[in-house]
Amino acid sequence: MSEAIGIKTQQGIVDITNKQQLSGEEIFFDDSADALSIVRHSAAHLLAQAIRQLYPDAQFFVGPVVEEGFYYDFKTAAKISEDDLKTIEKTMKKLAAQNLPISRYETSKQEAVARYANDPLKTEVLSRIDSPTVSFYKQGDFEDLCRGPHVPSTKFLAHIKLTKLAGAYLGGDSNREMLTRIYGIAFSSAQSLAAWEKQMIEAQKRDHRKLGTELELFKFSDEIGGGLAVWLPAGARLRSKLEAISFKAHRRRGYQPVRGPEILRSDLWRKSGHIANYGENMYFTKIDEAEYGLKPMNCVGHIAVYESAVRSFRDLPLKYFEFGTVHRHEQSGVLHGLLRVREFTQDDAHIFCTEDQIATEIEKILEFIDRLMGVFNFEYTLTLSTKPAKAIGDDRLWERSTAEIKKVLDKRGSYLIDEGGGAFYGPKIDVKITDAIGRKWQCGTIQVDMNLPERFDLHYTNEKNERVRPVMLHRAMMGSMERFIAILIEHYGGELPFFIAPTQVAVVPIGDSHLEYAKVIADLLTAADIDVTLFDRADSLAKKIRSAEKMRVPFIAVVGDKEVADKSIALRDRTTRDEKTLALDEFIALCKAKNNEESL
């Protein structure tokens, strides 16, 4: 039987977002987004109930559903550690097994404020509610302020797992007190939870931080600073290969390389709206009494390129691209290897075009993205993200921009909508890729912007010699180079394809007498732009091969007496797990072909 949470109708399950509370007859379990949202929000309350039972002085802030499950922020005089999560989880399961009914009731906001007069966290929550009435959910001896809906009983919350303990500033404001945050996950069935746990075990094996250290790709250091990656030689080779492939692909598609400064006067960031809408994520300094801001985005520099000459309709579309390094002030608690850093490089581009060209250019970008995803064997989905609460510009510009995106996406077929998820200057398409073990990652984006051209008074001359405002398309394919590399490492489990592998060939001489021939092979490969490592240490053959295998080198070329005599190599192919003998010329040709087999 299919299981889901929803309201049963002749048409099936309908939207339950505004349903006040669900009855037993309305419950069907599955792992749909709507179903899991209700289960996980209810599980957050179960977490709070368990915490209150174990730590009676606990006060609670908010416990929302997030992409990775749910969490609850709270404070208590007790010092909670990772070891305590097992006890809290055990208490949650006991409460779930009690089959406690979950009921909803309403009261006036004024009464709720009085009730929580001695609870500053709930008082803070209530201050954010703009309604004369508020609702509560009660289960056993525990109740909590909440909009709902919830499952009707704790028996539906048996399949839970607490995942992480963290600190979180109250309301995300680093100037306020630090709360304790506990993350968890919940599913509709034991099978779904078991599948997730299996995925987590596989994810740990593929963790890019672990593999990055083993493969000597990058490092982080507290002395240098949190969220600032140091790229080691192998990692720098990997980056350069991705950039070289991307550079050629952009040039073939008519993009012009440009480069903007990494620091600009704050006047420009005010003009663009970044300081008003994004200033908390920026770094500032003073030079000659003037304030400057490190760029969090590349768009203002590319606007300066557009402004460098008089533009005609014949020039459009103008396509500029840059591997632009940007800096963003991320809270220390969210930093996570290469996936969340404070300095990163984007394969960023901006297209200046006429309004009539928007749809065509978006289609071309989507074709480009489709090629990129195919090269790395990624499946992906597209999401239309609309105007956020914090935005600049006239509503009419937003409506026109959003309509142009919808025109393209409707033609393509399936896509998702994220209401309020757009950039502050325009709606966007977000690209979410699915990796080898089923996880989804946000990477590329396409943003339609009619606001920055307005703010910077950009124009071109049309056929009638009139000044017309261009449209600006912001576009990244891989997104953050750091994030994309982290995803690639985990997607391939460190066994990167030949054409981007930091070390593509390991040449392994069996003994000293074979070293001269091994050097000849290494020199020929280097001349053919193949990254090669010569294993010439005085180790056993088995140890040399194990070392190369630990480096996840795609090809291992072993040479001994026979290979020297025949001018050949004994090849071990990591991808196919084959072993065979090839003539040296044949092997060099194979490496060249593998190096060029994938292009954008």
Contact 286, 265 (CB under 8 A): no
Options 239, 241, 274, 428, the catalytic residue? 428
Q: Which residues contact 165 (CB under 8 A, 6 or more apart)?
A: 80, 81, 82, 84, 85, 180, 181, 182, 183
Is residue 350 flagged as an active site residue? Answer: yes
Q: Which residues contact 586 (CB under 8 A, 6 or more apart)?
A: none
Is residue 328 flagged as an active site residue? Answer: yes
Is residue 139 flagged as an active site residue? Answer: no
Options 474, 491, 514, 572, the catalytic residue? 474
Is residue 395 flagged as an active site residue? Answer: no
**Rounded Cα gap, residues 85 and 405, in angstroms:** 45
Question: What Rg, from alpha-carbon coordinates, does the chain have?
Answer: 28
Options 40, 159, 250, 328, the catalytic residue? 328
Options 146, 299, 353, 591, the catalytic residue? 299
Phi and psi torsions of 434, nearest 5°: -110, 125
Q: Which residues contact 128 (CB under 8 A, 6 or more apart)?
A: none
Is residue 546 flagged as an active site residue? Answer: no
Joined tokens for residue 147? 């909009």
Is residue 428 flagged as an active site residue? Answer: yes
Options 49, 59, 346, 357, the catalytic residue? 346
Q: Which position has the token pair 């929000």?
A: 41
Going by the DSSP 8-state scheme, the letter that residue 469 receives in this structure is P
The H or E element spanning position 143 is strand 142-145
Torsion 342-346-352-356 (CA) sign:
negative
Is residue 327 flagged as an active site residue? Answer: no
Contact 531, 505 (CB under 8 A): yes
Q: Which position has the token pair 């009921």?
A: 103
Q: Which residues contact 407 (CB under 8 A, 6 or more apart)?
A: 359
**Rounded Cα gap, residues 104 and 78, in angstroms:** 30
Going by the DSSP 8-state scheme, the letter that residue 470 receives in this structure is P
Q: Is 86 exposed, middle or buried (0-12, 13-18, 19+ CB in 10 A)?
A: exposed
Q: Is the peptide bond before 317 cis (omega within 30 degrees of 0)?
A: yes
Options 75, 104, 122, 350, the catalytic residue? 350
Active site positions, annotated: 299, 328, 346, 348, 350, 428, 474
